């Protein structure tokens, strides 16, 4: 039987979570189960995660595959898993997250009648501290079960085009993704940012359906948005990820048809990838921010002269650093206040 859906799972130090993750993929319908290609990438984990995964490989031969590799990081595992995937469609699943099994079963049925480059879904966040779920946000701008031409859909007008093709909410045509490997920066955090940019550049069409498959676990120590982790690694890793993406877009800009909305979005995204890092680096303390900003500014000027400076970059280049930094901190404070007020008003 031809495989319909490959699910790629990177595994590294997740022995407390891996059983729940893989077991959530074992649908009850045997025919549907045989359509799954569950690709578990053992990224050189030192704990028993891979051992537990291989128990599933023994129980479900031809369905679960455990692939051992030397440590390449989360992005390296996704690159390798994408390369090895044999299903018509591809879904990425982190090993501390899981799928709602009944919704996965519905998705398999749905994909059996689908032929678009992307299928967008709903999902939920799970907060470990409170044991509660929240909706990840439905695509209110989309009509369910309507095929959209990616060149005519206005990605910029949505205001969050980059969120629409994120890993937790999107299934991708495998052949499309394999054609443009590598898709992810390796040995870094935030490698999944690629899926907020690359799919829009290469997908010709997409469809949205109200299936709520992904359960995203929030609250595990060591996650990339954990403040302690972020403070240590964020600046270096974001620099590497953005450089990877800038290079990827530069190599593949010819893929995007001229004159369509995808071209406008891809160009805007390309520009923002270079300038956004000024904001990210300016969030650090002055002693950390000043030398890192200087290095990034020099790098961008020398290697990507086509990146046009936005207002923040112009401020940085025009003002003495102390004046720029004080102004930025005031701006960032006002932004936080505005977001807080917006949340309060929304929850009333």
Name the domain boundary from 152, 183, 218.
218
Structural tokens at position 120:
């967008």
Query: In 10 A of CB 180, how many CB atoms?
Result: 17
Q: Does 33 share its domain with 96? A: yes
Task: Look up the CATH number of the domain holding residue 101.
Answer: 3.90.550.10
Instruction: List own/partner pairs for 282-288 with CB under 8 A and 24 or more apart.
Output: 282/312, 282/316, 282/325, 282/328, 282/332, 283/332, 284/235, 286/322, 286/325, 288/235
Handedness of CA 303, 281, 158, 314 (dihedral sign): negative
Contacts for 37 with CB less than 8 Å, ≥ 6 apart: 3, 5, 6, 7, 63, 65, 85, 86, 87
Look at residue 203 in the predicted model and tell me its pLDDT. 95
Phi, psi values for residue 325, rounded to 5°: -65, -40
Q: Does 40 share its domain with 178? A: yes
Look at residue 160 in the predicted model and tell me its pLDDT. 65
Contacts for 93 with CB less than 8 Å, ≥ 6 apart: 7, 8, 9, 21, 25, 99, 214
Q: Which domain holds residue 15?
A: 5-218
Look at residue 145 in the predicted model and tell me its pLDDT. 96
Look at residue 253 in the predicted model and tell me its pLDDT. 86
Going by DSSP bridges, is the β-strand pair 89-92/148-149 parallel, antiparallel, or unpaired? Answer: unpaired
C-beta separation of 188 from 79 below 8 A? no
Q: Does 137 share its domain with 167? A: yes
Name the domain boundary from 218, 239, 260.
218
Q: Does 127 share its domain with 273? A: no
Q: Which residues pair with 65 in a beta bridge?
A: 39
Number of domains comprising the chain:
2
Name the domain boundary from 218, 235, 263.
218
Q: Does 101 share its domain with 159? A: yes
Q: Does 158 share its domain with 41? A: yes
Query: Which single residue is written with the structure tokens 């309060």?
Result: 344
Q: Does 110 share its domain with 231? A: no
- Put simply, whether the predicted model's pTM sits higher than 0.95 gets the answer no
Which element (helix H / strand E) includes 8? strand 5-11
C-alpha 319, offset from chain centre: 35
Q: Which residues of the chain have pLDDT under 70?
A: 1, 137-138, 159-162, 220-234, 346-348
As a whole number of Å, the end-to-end CA separation of the chain is 52
Q: Does 124 share its domain with 268? A: no
SS3 194: helix
Q: Does 36 share its domain with 149? A: yes
Q: Does 212 share its domain with 247? A: no
| Cα within 13 Å of Cα(198), Cβ side | 28
Q: Does 202 share its domain with 57? A: yes
Q: Does 45 share its domain with 113? A: yes
Please count the residues of the chain.
348
């Amino acid at each position: 039987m031809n495989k319909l859906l490959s699910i790629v799972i990177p595994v590294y130090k997740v022995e407390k979570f891996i059983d729940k993750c893989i077991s959530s993929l074992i649908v009850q319908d045997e025919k549907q189960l045989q359509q799954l290609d569950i690709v578990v990438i053992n990224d050189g984990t030192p704990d028993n995660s891979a051992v537990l995964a291989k128990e599933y490989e023994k129980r479900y031969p031809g369905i679960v595959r455990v692939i051992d590799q030397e440590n390449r990081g989360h992005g390296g595992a996704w690159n390798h898993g994408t390369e090895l995937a044999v299903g018509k469609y591809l879904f990425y699943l982190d090993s501390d997250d899981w799928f709602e099994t009944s919704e996965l079963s519905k998705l398999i049925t749905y994909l059996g009648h689908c032929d678009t480059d992307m299928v967008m879904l709903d999902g939920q966040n799970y907060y470990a501290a409170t044991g509660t779920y929240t909706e990840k946000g439905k695509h209110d701008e989309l009509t369910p079960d309507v095929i959209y031409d990616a060149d005519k859909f206005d990605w910029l007008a949505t205001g969050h085009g980059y969120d629409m093709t994120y890993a937790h909410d999107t299934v991708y045509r495998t052949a499309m993704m394999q054609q443009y490997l590598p898709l992810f920066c390796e040995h870094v955090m935030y490698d999944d940012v690629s899926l907020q940019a690359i799919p829009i550049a290469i997908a010709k069409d997409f469809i949205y359906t109200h299936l709520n498959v992904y359960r995203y676990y929030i609250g595990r120590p060591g996650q990339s948005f954990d403040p302690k982790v972020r403070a240590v690694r964020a600046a270096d890793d974001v620099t590497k990820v953005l450089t990877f993406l800038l290079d990827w877009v530069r190599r593949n800009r010819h893929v995007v048809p001229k004159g369509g909305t995808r071209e406008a979005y891809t160009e805007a995204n390309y520009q923002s990838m270079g300038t956004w890092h000024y904001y990210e680096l300016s969030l650090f303390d002055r002693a950390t921010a000043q030398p890192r900003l200087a290095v990034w500014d020099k790098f961008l000027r020398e290697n990507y002269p086509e990146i046009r400076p936005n207002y923040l970059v112009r401020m940085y280049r025009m003002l003495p650093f102390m004046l720029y930094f004080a102004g930025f901190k005031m701006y960032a404070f006002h932004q936080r206040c505005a977001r807080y007020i917006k949340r309060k008003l929304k929850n009333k």
